[in-house]
Structure 1
Amino acid sequence: MKLDKLLVVIDASQPSHPALERAAWLARRTQAHLHVLLVEYSAALDGSTLENSLQTQAREALLEQRSTWLQELLTPLQSEGLALQLDVRWGKRLHESVLEVADQLQPDLVLKSAAHNNLLRRLLLTDSCWQLMRHCPFPLWLVHHAEWRGGKLCTAVDPLHKDDKPAALDHHLISTSQALSTALGMHADVVHCHAPLPRTLLNNTELLATYQQYLQDDAQQHHQAFDDLVGQHGIAPQSAHLLEGAPENMLPRFVRKQEIDLLVMGAIARGRLDTILIGHTAERLLESVDCDLLVVKLPAEK
C-alpha cells in the first residue's frame, strides 16, 4: 500500500480536527502529500431570494473566508515542511464532493474525522461516513477522537468467506496491514471471530443430539481456515487471534484489551458493505470500538 497522496476531509464547524492530526502523523513518517479538502454549504445561499449575482458574491465571500481560516489552520504544518494543498469548494452533499475530488486525485488514502460523543467517548458515524464507506473505492480511514498512540493495528478477517465475500479480500487486507506496519512502525495483529449457532436455535431433534459434535466440527473448520490464511502470510502465532463469539461483541473487547489503535476491516465493492458492516450490527460494532477504523476494498480491475 502506497502512502504518497492523502485526501484529508476537514469540517470547519468542529472544534478539533483529528483527521488532519492523523494525516500529519502519517506524512511525517512517509513524506506523503496532503490534499486538504473543506466543503462548505449554506442553505441560505442556495436557492434564496437573493439575485443570482448577489448570491454568487456571497458564496465567493464565504469560500474566501473559509480559505483564510484553513490557511491559518495549516500554517504550522507548512512550517514543518509538510507538502500541503488547500481545496475549498461549495457542495451540498459532503460525500459527493469528497468522491468527486477523490476521483480526480486518485489518493492512496482518504481520511475523515468521525463525529464524537464527549460523554461516552464513542465513535459516531455520520451519514457521510456511511456513504463514503459504501461508495469510496479508496481506503477510507475514519479517525477517532480518542488519544492516538500509533503503536498497534489489527486486521479483522473472515477466512470462510461467508456472504459471498471474495476470497482475495482477506489476502488484500493482510497485505495492506503488513505494508502499513512496515511503513509506520506499528505492530500488526490479525483476528477472526466466529460464533456457532446457539442450541436454542436448533429445533431439529437430530441436530440437537449431535450439537456437541457440531461445535467441535465448526471450531475445527474455523481453526483450519484461519491457520491456512495466516500461514500463507507468515504471521507469527502470537499475532493471530481466533475468538469465539459475535464480532460486534468480541472485536470491541479485543480492541480495548490489546490497546489497538487502528482496526482494519474489509468491504466488498458492490455498492454496499459486507454483512459485518451494515445494519444494526454495524452500528453496535463500529460505534463501540475505541480506535480508528480503516475500511479497505479490493482494487478495481483495470
Structure 2
Amino acid sequence: MIIVVGADGSDRSIVALRRAIQFADAWGAQLHVVHVMHIPSSLLGALSQVPTDLASLEQAQRQMVWNVIDPVIEGAPVDMERVDLDGYPADAIVEYAKKVKADLIVVGSRGRGELAALVLGSTSHRIVHISPCDVLVVKAPFE
C-alpha cells in the first residue's frame, strides 16, 4: 500500500502528516511525503523586474518547508520517501499519486493559501475532485 501526503509546512499539513504516519504505521504502508513548490505567474512577473536568483529563492523556500517537516518525520516507524515537485499543488500531488499508483492521498483541509483558497478554491477540494484514489482530508487537530 502507498500513501501520498501533501505537506507545505503549515500547521494543518503537519496535522495531516502526523495522521498519514499513523495510518502508514498501522497498515504497513509506504509513505511518500510530497512538497510542491508553486510560484504564481503574477509573482514571477514581478520578480522579473528585480534582479534575483530564482533558483536560490526556490531552494531557500524548499529548505524552510523541510525544516518544519523533517522533525515530524524523523524517526517515524514507516518506510518513507521525501519528494519535491514543482507546479500547481493539487495537480502535482494527483499526478504523482497516479505515477506511484497510490492507494490514498492525505491532505490538510487548508494550508498556506487561505486567501487564494477563497478566490481559487482549496488544494484539498481540487484533489478530492480529480484524484483517482481515495482522499483523506484531515480537519481535526492531531491527538
Secondary structure at the aligned position of 2:31 is classed as strand
Alignment equivalent of 1:288, drawn from 122, 130, 138: 130
Secondary structure at the aligned position of 2:32 is classed as strand
In structure 2, what is the equivalent of residue 267 of structure 1? 109
- Scaled by the length of structure 1, the TM-score of the pair is 0.38
In structure 2, what is the equivalent of residue 202 of structure 1? 45
1:178 corresponds to 2:28: no
Report the alpha carbon displacement of residue 201 of structure 1 after superposing the two structures with TM. Answer: 5.0
Residues 68-83 of structure 1: matches in 2 within 5 Å? none
Residues 156-167 of structure 1: matches in 2 within 5 Å? 156-159=6-9, 161=10, 167=11
In structure 1, what is the equivalent of residue 4 of structure 2? 154
In structure 2, what is the equivalent of residue 297 of structure 1? 139
* Cα separation, 2, equivalents of 1:280 and 1:174: 18
**8 Å contact kept, 2:36–2:88:** yes
Report Cα offsets for 1:136-188 as digits up to 9, x if no partner: xxxxxxxxxxxxxxx111111111x3xxxxx2x23322221111112122111
Report the alpha carbon displacement of residue 288 of structure 1 after superposing the two structures with TM. Answer: 2.1
Instruction: Give the number of the structure with larger relative contact order, counting CA–CA contacts within 8 Å between residues 6 or more apart.
Output: 2
**8 Å contact kept, 1:156–1:192:** yes
* Cα separation, 1, equivalents of 2:90 and 2:59: 19
Alignment equivalent of 1:219, drawn from 50, 59, 65: 59
Report Cα offsets for 1:63-98 as digits up to 9, x if no partner: xxxxxxxxxxxxxxxxxxxxxxxxxxxxxxxxxxxx
Determine which structure has more spread, i.e. the larger CA radius of gyration: 1
Report Cα offsets for 1:78-130 as digits up to 9, x if no partner: xxxxxxxxxxxxxxxxxxxxxxxxxxxxxxxxxxxxxxxxxxxxxxxxxxxxx
Gaps of 5+ in 1: 1-150, 162-166
Report the residue type matching 1:222 in the other structure. R
Report the alpha carbon displacement of residue 205 of structure 1 after superposing the two structures with TM. Answer: 6.3
* Cα separation, 1, equivalents of 2:121 and 2:73: 32
**8 Å contact kept, 1:193–1:244:** yes
Report the alpha carbon displacement of residue 240 of structure 1 after superposing the two structures with TM. Answer: 1.0
- Scaled by the length of structure 2, the TM-score of the pair is 0.74
Report the alpha carbon displacement of residue 231 of structure 1 after superposing the two structures with TM. Answer: 3.6
Describe the shift of the 1:279–1:240 C-alpha distance in structure 2 as closer, same or farther (beyond 3 A). Answer: same
Secondary structure at the aligned position of 1:239 is classed as strand
* Cα separation, 2, equivalents of 1:173 and 1:282: 11
Segments of 4+ moved more than 4 angstroms: 235-238, 280-284
CA RMSD of aligned residues (A): 3.4
Secondary structure at the aligned position of 1:260 is classed as coil
Alignment equivalent of 1:229, drawn from 69, 73, 80: 69
Secondary structure at the aligned position of 2:3 is classed as strand
Secondary structure at the aligned position of 1:287 is classed as helix
* Cα separation, 2, equivalents of 1:198 and 1:288: 23
The size of the alignment, in residue pairs, is 136
* Cα separation, 2, equivalents of 1:251 and 1:263: 8
**8 Å contact kept, 1:230–1:240:** no
Gaps of 5+ in 2: none
Secondary structure at the aligned position of 2:130 is classed as coil
Same amino acid, percent of matched pairs: 20
Report the alpha carbon displacement of residue 203 of structure 1 after superposing the two structures with TM. Answer: 4.7
Secondary structure at the aligned position of 1:174 is classed as helix
